[in-house]
Amino acid sequence: MTISGNIAIAGVFEHPTRWAPDKTEFQIMAESARGALADAGLTIKDVDGLFAASMTMGAMGTVELAEYLNLKPNYVDGTNIGGSSFVAHVNHAAAAIHAGLCEVALILYGSTSASTATAIGTGGYGGGGRNPSEAWTGPYGMTTVGSYALVAQLHMNKYGTKPEQLAEIAVTMRAHAALNPNAKMRQLITVDDVMESRVISEPLHLLDCCIISDGGGAVVVTSAARARDLPKKPVLLLGCGEALAHQEIGSPDLFTLAAKQSSTRAFSMAGVSRDDIDFAMIYDSFTITVLATLENLGFCALGEGGAFVSDGRIRLGGALPVNPDGGGLSNNHPGMRGIFLVIEAVKQLRGECGDRQVTGAKLALAHGTGGTIGVAHSGATIILGSE
Amino acid sequence: MSDMEYPLVYASWETRAYWEGCGRGEIVLQRCRSCQTVQHKPRAICATCLSSEIDHFVASGRATIYTFTVTHQNQALPFRDHCPYVMAYVTLEEGPRLFTNIVGAEPSTVRIGMAVVADFAPQVRTDGEVFAVPRFRPE
Ligand SMILES: [Zn+2]
């Protein structure tokens, strides 16, 4: 028996908060757990696998979280590979459930990035850190947005990609967010608005960058067999993969993202093609992240991302709607966004998304990126389907 | 940003030869004695064949810009006070790519493919180390 088709996501919950100065990370996680378990028709007593990561959890973070929830799980995974972690947690939970190491996995994220004024994109490292990454980028003033800008600049130089094409991605996310009552930024914007917003790190403007919010969410994973006895329609895990990309031995190819390797495995496992996918959830830390990820996922050829995102192709109603919730560019971005990719994919496949519903959504791809694509990053892909 | 005091770099024993080379005004790279692979960043083993027999050699210091960005916002000091500044990957003649700053050029004139040479900013340190931060400037 393979993992594909035999593991299900039984419950999801996206915390509605976008500003929570009165909450802690663990509180947001616990409130999200309550929501996702209710969604799944399960209780906290059913949970025997705990998966979590956050902006502040350290080496003992999952132990502290287990105490907070008074959980004594049989399986624990605190993998933290940046914003993609929660997509990877789905893969890891599937492996653990498939191997019989746990039955009901609870994946949690919570953050107060906005209310604690965390400079996610432009904080910089401010110096010569000792870890192997910061020691080589810190002295030069590297920022998260700068790392992504390096890729955008190269893409524009090599393939003639236009800043207006990147802007179109931000405009699309805002149009989707306008349909999402919980989204933080719902006022429509134009390509001109993006182009006229101040430059943060050339060629990326302010509106090419994700927003900063508070928030969190939870996902419940179990076997497909068990999920079929629960109230909601199971969403099946059909394929998964994860990968890392870095500077190698001084030979980084900034156009080859981890998404290429992780999605190749996910598509192979699922036995479906790119054309079969009804919509995609793609980590949109910056507009260039979406464009480069679409290329590496194989939805278009390298260099064709600019044309691919144009003419409404990634809008609701287009050939491949991307992030119908409004993404990190407009819905929410509390530091690490991967869990929301999974949650929205599941809700869309169940047909629960109201005004922003992708018509007839049966097959979804979600891809998380963690870290920075110009220095080193992780990627995790899942392909989900409704029965 | 040539007048900027760069943050003090940290040298582990694996990376000491590189930063000491910068202190002498040289870019020092590693070559594996077993498989001849040139690697950067420096490490105690060859990441291609896992040999511990690593030689160091002085590179030419000549490179071309692979990609760059002009950064207008960094909230961390000292960079906050030196915006806009240019961050870049440069491809050394010997093959490896380095992350660095481009100096000695108006940011608006920097281009991908531009030929550049190493330019070392010595560090004022109280620990007796003679290190420098290698930036690159148009040839
Ligand atoms: Zn070797």
Which ipTM was obtained for this model?
A: 0.96
Residue-level pLDDT at B124: 86
Chain A: nearest CA to B73, how far in angstroms? 6
Closest CA of chain B from A355, distance in Å = 37
Q: For residue A217, is pLDDT > 90?
A: yes
Q: Which of A134-148, A149-163, A271-285, A330-344 has the lowest mean pLDDT?
A: A134-148
Predicted confidence at residue A295, as pLDDT, reads 98
Amino acid, res. A88: A
> Residue A380 in 3-state DSSP?
strand
- Average confidence (pLDDT) over A268-285: 98
- pLDDT reported for residue B15: 94
Mean pLDDT of A69-81: 98
Confidence of residue B8 (pLDDT cuts 50, 70, 90): confident
> What pLDDT does A129 receive?
61
- Judge whether A253 is closer than 8 Å to chain B, CB to CB: no
* Facing B10 at nearest CB: one of A128, A157, A251: A128
B36, with CB counted inside 10 A (0-12, 13-18, 19+), is exposed
Mean pLDDT, range A136-141, rounded to an integer: 90
**pLDDT tens digits for B54-72?**
999 999 999 999 999 999 9
pLDDT at B1 over 80: no
Q: Which of A45-59, A117-131, A278-292, B117-131 has the lowest mean pLDDT?
A: A117-131
For the segment A114-133, the average pLDDT, to the nearest whole number, is: 65
Average pLDDT for chain A: 95
In the predicted structure, residue A372 carries a pLDDT above the cut 90: yes
Whether the Cβ atoms of residue A128 and residue B10 lie closer than 8 Å to each other:
yes
B70, closest residue in chain A (CA to CA):
A202
Q: Say yes or no to pLDDT of A126 above 60.
A: no
pTM above 0.90, yes or no: yes
- Residue-level pLDDT at B4: 79
Check CB contact of A45 with chain B, cutoff 8 Å: no
A90-109 pLDDT, tens digit each: 999 999 999 999 999 999 99
Q: What is the mean pLDDT of residues B1-10?
A: 78
pLDDT tens, A315-356? 999 999 999 999 999 999 999 999 999 999 999 999 999 999
Residues in chain A, total: 387
At B5 the pLDDT is 86
CATH fold of B16-138 reads OB fold (Dihydrolipoamide Acetyltransferase, E2P) (2.40.50)
**Residue A252, pLDDT score:** 92
Cβ distance of B75 and A138 shorter than 8 Å: no
Overall average pLDDT of the A180-184 stretch: 97
Q: Backbone dihedral region of A354: left (phi > 0), alpha (psi from -120 to 50 degrees) or beta? A: left
The answer to whether B7 contacts A135, with C-beta atoms less than 8 Å apart, is: no
| Residue A69: predicted pLDDT | 98
Q: What is the pLDDT of residue B21?
A: 98
Nearest to B39 among A126, A250, A254 (CB): A250
Query: For residue A119, which residues of chain B lie inside 8 Å, CB to CB?
Result: 75
CA distance to partner chain B, nearest, from residue A103 (Å):
40
> Each residue of B99-123: pLDDT tens digit?
999 999 999 999 999 999 999 999 9
Domains and CATH numbers, chain A: 7-116+214-238 (3.40.47.10), 136-212+239-386 (3.40.47.10)
Chain A residues with CB under 8 Å of B13 CB are none
Pairing of strands A279-282, A363-372: parallel
Q: Smallest Cβ distance to A140: which of B12, B99, B112?
A: B99
Distance (Å) from the alpha carbon of B53 to chain A's nearest alpha carbon: 16
- What are the sequence ranges of the domains in chain B? 16-138
Residues across chain B? 139
Q: Do A251 and B112 touch (CB under 8 A)?
A: no
Asked if the Cβ–Cβ distance from A141 to B15 is below 8 Å, we say no
The predicted pLDDT at position A127 comes to 53
Burial B83-117 (b: 16+ CB within 10 A, else e): bbbbbbbbbbebebbbbbbbbeeebeebebebebe
Helix, coil or strand: residue A44: helix
User: At A119, is the pLDDT very low, low, confident or very high (cuts 50, 70, 90)?
Assistant: low
Q: What pLDDT sits at residue A164?
A: 98
